[in-house]
Amino acid sequence: MGDGVLSQDEINALLSGGIPDAPAGEPSSGGGELSEQEIDTIGEVANISMGSAATTLFSLVNQKVEISTPVVSETNWQELASGYDNSCVVVRIGYTKGIDGSNVLVLKENDVKVITDLMMGGDGTNTDGEISDLHLSAISEAMNQMMGASATSLSSMLNKMVDISPPTAQLTDLATIDGGEIDEFLKGNFVRIAFKMEIGTLVDSEMMQLYPISLAKEMCGSVLNNMESDSNSTVDDGVAEAAPAPAPEPAPAPQAAPQMQAPPQMDPNMMQGQPMQGQPMMPYMYAPGPQVNVQPAQFTPFGPGFAAQFAQENIDLILDVPLEVTVELGRTNKTIQDILDFAPGTIIELNKIAGEPIDVLVNGKYVAKGEVVVIEESFGVRITEIIKE
């Protein structure tokens, strides 16, 4: 302190031979095993890969999704548990190809309920009750697709194929569980990447991604090596371009200048993820191509009755094609809870009245109505009406 007086925290730290503890909720440096350059690199990698994951989540929940503002730090399980909601859903994803290790995603319980309800076709407000196996299964599938898209982005940045294992999800109380029960790397210091996650107007929260420090260093090394290789390649190309050019040949006769093509439009759905901060946009380069003489195709008109004659002559070719005939007794709608309550003896009421004709479908298309008959020991259908459109 500037006045030479030590605070109580500093006195305790000196007595214990350490440094003052970080305030609750604020991760410490975790020993400072990562350099500033590695922390910045991890943040950029996470920003790009989670941008791809946000686009995938958008397609699952049909809501605008933004996962941005990664904050990278080193921490341990005690600090993590003290600064986050105790009741969380923890999803573990292992890497099976390209890089060695695993990562863990931590989501708040209510966020998982909202995502599950949206995936099931709801409006995201059905969040009552406790987390069930249905919630865990749904969030595992969502994370599988999101981290699959993230692995594709990692493959491009690391210049090698990256693949993941199927995620496993569990409801966890961070304050009462040891991180080592989830993954071995959570026993010591690890990398914590906190993302701001927004889903429409329903979720404005935080999601965390946890990495082993060794895996983070491996990714940083691969990314930095690729950047250095690209830089050296660019320098070599510049030297090659500076070489003296051969004497020009006589110019050919002038031709009409070809029209420039317009750049392709970007899909607005692909802009859900946050772009890499400070990354310049590369301009489109167009090279004039050879002129092509394009003329409309000319076809000989068919004579009268050609279609009927063609159909009559070729119908025999498809007479032995098998078609699936389905008899539909009736339909109804049930909630997931009703279906989970099914048991032997449960009666399901259909939308058909007793004695009403049943529907006959061929390859899923309604073609007739009929009535049920019994032929010896089998059921059958007597056609009573052909449906004509």
Are both 52 and 200 inside the same structural domain? yes
The residue range of the domain holding 143 is: 9-221
Domain endpoint, select from 187, 221, 255: 221
Instruction: Answer for the pair 297, 327: CB distance below 8 angstroms, yes or no.
Output: no
Domain endpoint, select from 167, 201, 221: 221
Residue bearing the bigger pLDDT, 297 or 363: 363
Please give the single-letter amino acid code of residue 132: S
Give pLDDT tens digits for 60-99.
898 999 988 899 999 999 888 888 877 899 999 999 988 8
Residue carrying structure tokens 């063609």: 310
Q: Which residues of 164-201 are buried (b: 16+ CB within 10 A; e: fewer)?
A: beebebeebebeebebeebbebbeebbbbbbbebbbbe
Cα 96–chain centre separation: 18
Give the pLDDT band (50/70/90) at residue 278: very low
CATH of residue 350's domain is 2.30.330.10
Asked if the structure places residue 42 within a domain, the reply is: yes
How do strand 87-97 and strand 163-164 relate by DSSP bridges? antiparallel
Asked if the structure places residue 304 within a domain, the reply is: no
CATH of residue 189's domain is 3.40.1550.10
Please give the single-letter amino acid code of residue 35: S
Give pLDDT tens digits for 323-372.
899 998 888 998 998 888 888 988 888 888 888 899 999 988 889 999 98
Asked if the structure places residue 163 within a domain, the reply is: yes
Asked if the structure places residue 1 within a domain, the reply is: no
**Which residues is 247 bridged to in the sheet?**
none
- Give which of 268, 273, 372 is closest to 328, Cα–Cα: 372
For 143-169, the DSSP string reads: HHHHHHHHHHHHHHHHTS--EEPPPEE
What's the DSSP call for residue 7?
Answer: P
Question: Structurally, how many domains does the chain consist of?
Answer: 2
Strand, coil or helix: 139 = helix
Give pLDDT tens digits for 89-100.
999 999 998 888
pLDDT score at 292: 62
Stretch 226-238: mean pLDDT = 64
Asked if the structure places residue 283 within a domain, the reply is: no
Percentages (nearest 5) of helix, strand, coil residues in the chain: 35, 20, 45
Greatest pairwise CA separation for the chain in angstroms: 106
Rounded to the nearest integer, the mean pLDDT of the chain is 77
